[in-house]
Chain A
Amino acid sequence: MASITLRQLAHTYDGKTFALRDLEHVWHQGGAYALLGPSGCGKSTLLNIISGLIVPSEGEVLFDDVCVNDLSPQQRNIAQVFQFPVVYDAMSVFDNLAFPLRNMKVDKVTIKRKVTEIAGLLDLSDLLDKKAKGLSADEKQKISMGRGLVREDVSAILFDEPLTVIDPHLKWKLRRKLKEIHEKLDITMIYVTHDQLEAATFADEIALMFEGKIVQFGSPQLLFERPNHTFVGYFIGSPGMNFLEVELAQNSIVTLQSQADRTAEVEHLRRLDVQFYIQPDCMQGLIKKAQANAMTNIKLGIRPEYITLIDKPTKTSYRADVEFIEALGDHQILTILFLQTRWHIRVSEYQPCDQNEVHFELPTQHLKIFVDEYLFDPQPPTIDKKVGSTALDQDKHEN
């Protein structure tokens, strides 16, 4: 059992492109973490570096402040479950589960006890005597997971998208099981996935990876409410955050006009500018920042959930054309074209919607500003600096 520190980690497979870049992170002892990100963002690479299957090109991996770069996976004493089931098919299910323990010369009584316990947790008890060879993919993956879980003294258990091959109805169950096991064993668990739902159900805190970096680390709620990068906004939530390129006018945020429009009919277009109202302190901060140095890439972001539809236009409302409406059971997703940008609005299934145009309001407190893709926050909440349960609690209070 250990906390795992990644320092200045970088990895390249071919010497040219980097799968990981400048990665700094601390996984605390006993946490349930998810490593979330799109395919190819470096999640599995990072996991394999932690377990020791890959030696990083640069940087250090520390277990409890001891550098383990030169230690083999065997020496690091880490359990890892892979995306696709690996079972030793010449052995029975029992022997498969007992294999890591036997390799560690654990006595037979303990082996029997541990294997029976884990098999019970994973519903494998009836299969213990069977050969692992003829089993279904589900069962094989449960065996793979079981081999990771039988060892009590491991530094951490790493899961690399372990539920990919599992049936949907079992997925949920196994995720709960993992969480239960985590609560029982107090082992650091890192769970790699590209599914935000999976990440949110399993983990207390999520590390979101993008292009070889961890762009944000925090509770699922924090990632949802205060994404600190446009990618986080886009990746978390379903559908993701709506963005609009804007610019800073005198004292307000207005839509971006293309260069050509501006030279042609400046006066005319200016009048057509759409204004947005953000929180005053944010606005002031933005103006201050603009005085210091020019900003070219400013984006406005809002979650589809926070857009309020209204029946009749008001002074502060906006209008957009509806492209189509998807009814998804308990809610509907409106796809609209707002100032040449495609946005989504998520409303309840009972909300009547006009098929052609909608009027809506953008609640000030939910409008976020992103400068150069990063969240612009005049008073960065101190909680972002901290990690662990305090961050979580404070975040919950605020919302």
Chain B
Amino acid sequence: MFKNIILGIFLLVSTFFVAQNTAMSGAEAKAFVTKVSSETKEIKTLQADFVQTKKMDFLDKNIITSGKMSLKSPNTLSWKYTKPYQYSIIFKENKIYINDQGKKSSVDAKSKTFEKINKLIVGSSNGKMFSDPEFAVAYFKNGTSNIAKFTPKSAQLLKYIKQIELHFPKNQTTVSQVNMTEASGDTTNIVFKNTKINAPIPASEFSL
């Protein structure tokens, strides 16, 4: 009995918190997508620091890695981890260049997994994901952010990922946070900081 009361209170409290993210109306969602899509068209380059947090239910501590990302329109991307280890991956002209703690390699960007990663990262930073036919999108808002939740439509993709959540701060057209939920329920959360739009990026940033 006592347990049920506690559970009841817990459910109430959690609904309260969840309720803070309210669904957008159809018109609101349409306006949001139009605004983000048109403004991201103006983005030629994008740079940001990121912190990636991996949560798994059986671990005592989260696994935190961090680094820097640079994006040059239309599809050159550098994603570099600098802490606690060095690992860089660069997508450029249909090739993928990797520097794994000094071990350099390159592959053709034909691998399905890499393609998905590239699409995911590039897509989530330029708003093109909204029209990706692989996903169903639902729109929410809270006091500070607009939130787009992507759910894969195909059973095949659901084996990889259950949901991707993109947070757009209300005064910003680029993503400040990505939350990914895997089929198992584990989450990976990436927070972007010090975002710079259209600042020049030295070419060296896109080579190993």
Instruction: Decide if A and B are genuine partners.
Output: no
Chain A interfacial positions (CB closer than 8 Å to B): none
